[in-house]
Amino acid sequence: MSEKNLTGLDEIVSLSKARGFIFQSSEVYGGLAAVYDYGPLGVELKRNIQANWWKAMTQAHDNIVGVDAAIFMHPKVWEASGHVEGFNDPMIDDKQSKKRYRADMLIEQHILKLREKGKDEKADDLQQQLDTTGTRKGLCEDLYDIIMAEEIKSPDSGAFDWTEVRQFNLMFKTHYGATSKDDDDIIYLRPETAQGIFVNYKNVLDTARVQVPFGIAQVGKAFRNEVVARQFVFRMREFEQMEMQYFVEPGTDEEQYDAWLNKRMAWHKSLGIREKNLRVAPHPDDKLAHYARAAADIQFKFPIGWQEVEGIHNRTDFDLSRHQEYSGKKMEYFDQREQKRYIPYVIETSIGLDRCTLMVLCDSYREEEVDGDTRTVLKMHPKLAPVKAGIFPLVKKPELQELARKIEAELKEDYTVQYDESGSIGKRYRRLDEAGTPFCITVDFDGLEDNTVTIRYRDDMRQERVSVDKLDAVMRDGMKNWKSPLD
């Protein structure tokens, strides 16, 4: 059986639309950039992944609990977290070299040069102007005016060919309150779900009878005004995170970090993702985020290259300390046994649900040659499949329809199933191959005599004769013992 490798996301995008996994948002109005909607198959797949994660993180551990925090949060949260400060840089682009600079840094360098040349008076004047930016026309305009007036040139190209100054704030703003229009009433759509966990850390500690080390898990939407949002659902402006923050005693954080990195990698494999397409990529120390002591990505080999699906971070006590500072509320944990007090360190596991869904689609997508014909099939783990079984009468005869409907009604109790009697039997098999459906059940006339049906497997198209009573058990086994087809 020969196969074609994906060379880009095109096939996935087409299939997603044609079969109803993922659509572009507001398509009838021309689409909204970097926003996507999940269709009937997509929502099932996504929810299955989410449910699997939730179970693996909460149910499977006795010291991890869940929360569901609101998207809106007090604006001070984002001051404490560092997002307000960190996302407000005014940037300017050199049109010649295509390089981007922080506008205020350009001016500061220029001032330094002036001082080197002994033009202190001029430098003082500029410094004064720089210190008062935002008081004349506006932050960006004031900076731009200085650069224009001083004819500051690009450090790289020496060109004087600038775009205007723009602010890249990655947080979405909105107004809180129906009549609000003042800047005072601005709140943000959360750029990460983690803060919803940190601000509830005390509540959980006080109510859930947990002791360090313990974890809080959450699934929810987050929003970022990415400068470049692209590549289908890989980088979206509205996306869903599945996060777990694990609170540990300082000093044990490195060990816990390693442990969680391993556990999370194991989870990805448990989804049936092929090992050759997974890897861990540690962040070099100089690339670490402001809050992190150590960080690594779990990456998947997408058709567009190795890309991050999940991040594991040692966030230290940065977040809790900052919230203690900004809120004035104690974030310490008191260890009764050791009689000591400390602010816990936090190990974060943060995975993009949309990226994970895309990963499953990419990893399972196959185009196979079958008798000179191309079969498109999604060989995903059966437990993730949007539709678990197709149920077909071999031909459209009332007796067969009746038994097929009866089987459908029974299986419906526990599985998502699809009844189909249109077209040839082969066509129906192939149709569900594209939806990743692991089992197809076909009712024929022999079966009316001995209460048996044919079950056909998606991965190898193998067929088996089974008793109707055993269907549930056969499917259960098939799901439990499934192994990713090697290629």
Partner RNA sequence: GCGGGAAUAGCUCAGAGGUAGAGCAUCACCUUGCCAAGGUGAGGGUCGCGGGUUCGACUCCCGUUUCCCGCUCCA
Site residues, RNA (CB under 7 A): 8-10, 13-14, 17-18, 24, 30-34, 81-83, 85-87, 93, 95, 98-100, 163, 168, 191-192, 226-228, 230-232, 289-290, 304, 370-376, 394-396, 422-427, 429-431, 434, 442-446, 453-454, 456, 461-463
Show the tokens assigned to 258. Answer: 């390693």
Nearer to RNA, 33 or 60 (CB): 33
Q: How far is the CB of 103 from RNA (least distance, A)?
A: 14
Nearer to RNA, 122 or 431 (CB): 431
Q: What is the DSSP letter of 279?
A: E
Q: Please name which of 218, 213, 280, 281 lies closest in space to residue 251, comparing C-alpha atoms.
A: 213
Q: How far is the CB of 205 from RNA (least distance, A)?
A: 24
Torsion of CA 217, 218, 224, 230, to 10 degrees: 90
Q: How far is the CB of 46 from RNA (least distance, A)?
A: 19
Show the tokens assigned to 448. Answer: 């009316």
Nearer to RNA, 121 or 373 (CB): 373
Nearer to RNA, 39 or 66 (CB): 39
Q: How far is the CB of 105 from RNA (least distance, A)?
A: 12
Q: Please name which of 350, 346, 285, 293 lies closest in space to residue 317, comparing C-alpha atoms.
A: 346
Nearer to RNA, 63 or 97 (CB): 97
Instruction: Count CB atoms within 10 A of the CB of residue 303.
Output: 17
Nearer to RNA, 54 or 168 (CB): 168
Q: How far is the CB of 444 from RNA (least distance, A)?
A: 4
Nearer to RNA, 126 or 455 (CB): 455
Q: How far is the CB of 211 from RNA (least distance, A)?
A: 29
Residues whose CB falls within 8 Å of the CB of residue 20, separated by 6 or more in sequence, listed in order: 39, 40, 41, 42
Size (the chain), residues: 487
Instruction: Count CB atoms within 10 A of the CB of residue 42.
Output: 22
CB 49 within 8 A of CB 356: yes
Q: Using DSSP bridges, classify how beta strands 452-457 and 439-443 pair: parallel, antiparallel or unpaired.
A: antiparallel
Show the tokens assigned to 355. Answer: 């990226």
- Cα–Cα distance, 470 to 331 (Å, whole number): 55
Q: How far is the CB of 231 from RNA (least distance, A)?
A: 5
Q: How far apart are the first and last CA of the chain?
A: 10
Residues whose CB falls within 8 Å of the CB of residue 202, separated by 6 or more in sequence, listed in order: 329, 331
Q: How far is the CB of 180 from RNA (least distance, A)?
A: 25
Residues whose CB falls within 8 Å of the CB of residue 372, separated by 6 or more in sequence, listed in order: none
Nearer to RNA, 181 or 462 (CB): 462
